[in-house]
Amino acid sequence: MSNSYASYVRRMRNVEPTKDERRALMMALSNERRAVEAGRSGRAGQPSRAGLVRAAVTRRAVAAVAAVAVVALVAGVVGTMVGAPGASGPAGAVGPVLAAYADGTQLGDGAMLLPANFGSSVSWSQGDDGSYHFDFNVDLSLAERRYRDITYTVDGGDATLKFLQSREGVSAGDTLADYEGVTTFTLSDATIAGTYVLSVDVPQDEIDAITDDPLADSAEVCALAARKLAGTRIRITATDSSGAKTSLCFELNPVDDFAERYARIEKHFQEDGETDGASLFTMRIVE
Amino acid sequence: MFTRNEELRSEDFMEAAVAAHHGAVFRLALNQTGNRADAQDVTQEVFIKLMKSFTAFRDADHLRAWLLRVTINQCRDLARQAWKRRVDVSAEPVVRPDAAQDEVLDAVVEHPVWSALRTLKETDRAVLHLRYVEELTIPEIADALSCKQVTVRTRLRRARLKLRRAMEDAGGVRGGASVGVTDGIGGLQ
């Protein structure tokens, strides 16, 4: 080692967390332990959770949750704006039509180009086994609020669903509709607001094949994950206000130039804090 | 010692793990994120993951490798999420270091090698840090970075070369002095 690097190493080894930082860490662990144990016991004053609970305890985690909450809020507003009760849903389809589909732009091949916010918020992480896990925030709320007993099911493919009910308006003792890593779940009615996520895993060797720096090439990496979602079919079965049970199946596909569009969105967001309105997915009704 | 029977790891286990590895996790997080506040966040998240994990650790070395691997992943997650974290609802104040630690950290940040390291990729910084600051062996680094030993050796060579060039560009290394290319530490080529 050069003398310069050796002196740097000596200085770096002197860096230690302070007593306050150690105390703060132990307190955070203690708080997390209490939160988890309280969640298990379902004690009074704590909302019980139907699915997996992930407590947000760090400043960063809190911020990330807030970002998701914004997405959920937007989804809720979209759901409120589109669609009025009627015999047939938007775009002429009969049954529980997705708000994103109803809000899309008709393409020549009969598919809908979905609104820009559909799937544009992607988070991903690498697991202990090296594989990558991707979460695409997608708005799967219905265009019409007259439905109840809405069952979402992924037909085939490797994607799984996540739904986290919005905490707004939830009272102590309420049961929250939270699901994670499932291929089907049911909401009691269409007014339940929340965050929908489509998740998919990508083996490490597939990521390694396209880049040795996934962080720098995040657009390519996300495009690879999006291609894993190609052809994913989401079946929605619901009961309308007259008691009739209907079903529609939607097939999802990423746009051909997903990587380029995603890179533009990311760049635009970093510069201005806004997305640039580029759509990333198309959808068609297949049954 | 490092086994798990409960749904959450015991307080005794966590206290022992924090006492033994808090420093290494924090330094690696600092190396990767470049600032103390993010390093605090990453460190906290890593130990919370440990408390909830189901991994049965063979020994302390296995635990350390696990912690360092999770730290690397957590730092990557933090960087990936950066563009989404523009919604700022900061809830907890950053724990301020004391004056003595301020000086220690200043001494690191003001060092020319620190600046040169910031020009390297995270993976290159990580492999140099684990090898020379934490003094991990090649197999231990391979375990921590979830890659093959030959990959670690390649990354080390590449990272040292890049660091040397970065320091030459900054005027920090003159007359053919090198960063580890001929250091022979650990039998590296």
Phi-psi region of A133 (alpha: psi -120 to 50; beta: other; left: phi over 0): beta
Across residues B126-130, what is the average pLDDT?
Answer: 95
In a 13 Å sphere around the CA of A164, the CA atoms on its Cβ side amount to: 21
Over residues A248-283, the pLDDT tens digits come to 999 999 999 999 998 888 777 666 555 567 899 999
- Least CA distance to A14: which residue of chain B? B104
- What's the Cα-to-Cα distance from A198 to each of A54, A152, A179, B15, B150, rounded to whole Å? 17, 12, 12, 37, 36
B73 and A126 in contact by Cβ < 8 A? Answer: yes
3-state secondary structure B2-29: CCCCCCCCCHHHHHHHHHHHHHHHHHHH
Across residues A64-82, what is the average pLDDT?
Answer: 33
Grade residue B182 by pLDDT with cuts at 50, 70 and 90. very low
Q: What percentage of chain A carries pLDDT values higher than 90?
A: 33
B80 and A124 in contact by Cβ < 8 A? Answer: yes
pLDDT > 60? residue A80: no
Q: Would you state the pLDDT for residue A175?
A: 66
How far is A282 from A106, CA to CA, in rounded Å?
10
Contact of A210 with A203, CB cutoff 8 Å: no
In a 13 Å sphere around the CA of A282, the CA atoms on its Cβ side amount to: 18
**In chain B, what residues touch A24 (CB-CB under 8 Å)?**
40, 44, 95
How far is B81 from B33, CA to CA, in rounded Å?
13
Tokens of A247: 């079903």
Q: Label residue A199 exposed, middle or buried (CB < 10 Å: 0-12, 13-18, 19+).
A: buried
Tokens of A132: 């990558």
Contact of A8 with B116, CB cutoff 8 Å: no
**In chain B, what residues touch A8 (CB-CB under 8 Å)?**
108, 111-114
DSSP symbol at B129 = I
pLDDT > 60? residue B176: no
Nearest to A63 by CA among B173, B64, B16, B91: B91
Report strand pairing: A281-285 vs A245-254: antiparallel
Tokens of B167: 């320091």
B97 and A213 in contact by Cβ < 8 A? Answer: no
Sheet holding A232-239, edge to edge: A105-106, A112-113, A281-285, A245-254, A232-239, A148-155, A184-189
Residues paired with A200 in a beta bridge: A134
Closest Cα in chain A, distance from residue B138 (Å) = 17
For A23-27, A112-116, A175-179, which range has the lowest pLDDT when averaged over its residues?
Answer: A175-179
3-state secondary structure chain A: CCHHHHHHHHHHHCCCCCHHHHHHHHHHHHHHHHHHHHHHHCCCCCCEECCCCCCCCCHHHHHHHHHHHHHHHHHHHHHHHCCCCCCCCHHHCCCCCEHHHHCCEECCCCCEECCCCCCCEEEEEECCCCCEEEEEEECCCECCCCCEEEEEEEECCCCEEEEEECCCCCCCCCEECEEEEECEEEEEECCCCEEEEEEEEECHHHHHHHCCCCCCCHHHHHHHHHHHCCCEEEEEEEECCCCCEEEEEEEEEECCCHHHHHHHHHHHHHHHCCCCCCCCEEEEECC
Establish, for the pair of chains A and B, how many residue pairs have beta carbons separated by less than 8 Å.
Answer: 180
For A80-89, B56-65, B107-116, which range has the lowest pLDDT when averaged over its residues?
Answer: A80-89
Query: Average per-residue pLDDT in chain A?
Result: 76
Host domain of residue A243: 2-285
Span between the terminal Cα atoms of chain A, in Å: 67
User: Tokens 């809908």 belong to which residue?
Assistant: A112
Tokens of A272: 């201005």
Query: Average per-residue pLDDT in chain B?
Result: 78
**In chain A, what residues touch B156 (CB-CB under 8 Å)?**
none
Q: Would you state the pLDDT for residue A126?
A: 80
**In chain B, what residues touch A63 (CB-CB under 8 Å)?**
85, 87-90
Q: Would you state the pLDDT for residue B189?
A: 25
**In chain B, what residues touch A37 (CB-CB under 8 Å)?**
8
pLDDT > 80? residue A239: yes
Q: What percentage of chain B carries pLDDT values higher than 70?
A: 75
Sorted by sequence, the CB contacts under 8 Å of residue A242 that are 6+ apart come out as none
Across residues A117-126, what is the average pLDDT?
Answer: 84
Contact of A199 with A161, CB cutoff 8 Å: yes
* Amino acid identity for residue B60 in this structure: A
- The answer to whether residue A77 neighbours chain B at the CB level (below 8 Å) is no
How far is B155 from B131, CA to CA, in rounded Å?
11
Over residues A13-34, the pLDDT tens digits come to 999 988 888 888 998 898 888 8
Contact of A116 with A268, CB cutoff 8 Å: no
Contact of A265 with A222, CB cutoff 8 Å: no
Q: Compare B104 and B180 and report the one with higher pLDDT.
A: B104
Number of domains chain A contains? 1
Q: Would you state the pLDDT for residue B125?
A: 93
Across residues B81-106, what is the average pLDDT?
Answer: 53
How far is A276 from A268, CA to CA, in rounded Å?
6
pLDDT > 80? residue B61: yes
Domains of chain B in sequence order: 1-98 (1.10.1740), 111-189 (1.10.10.10)
DSSP symbol at B86 = T
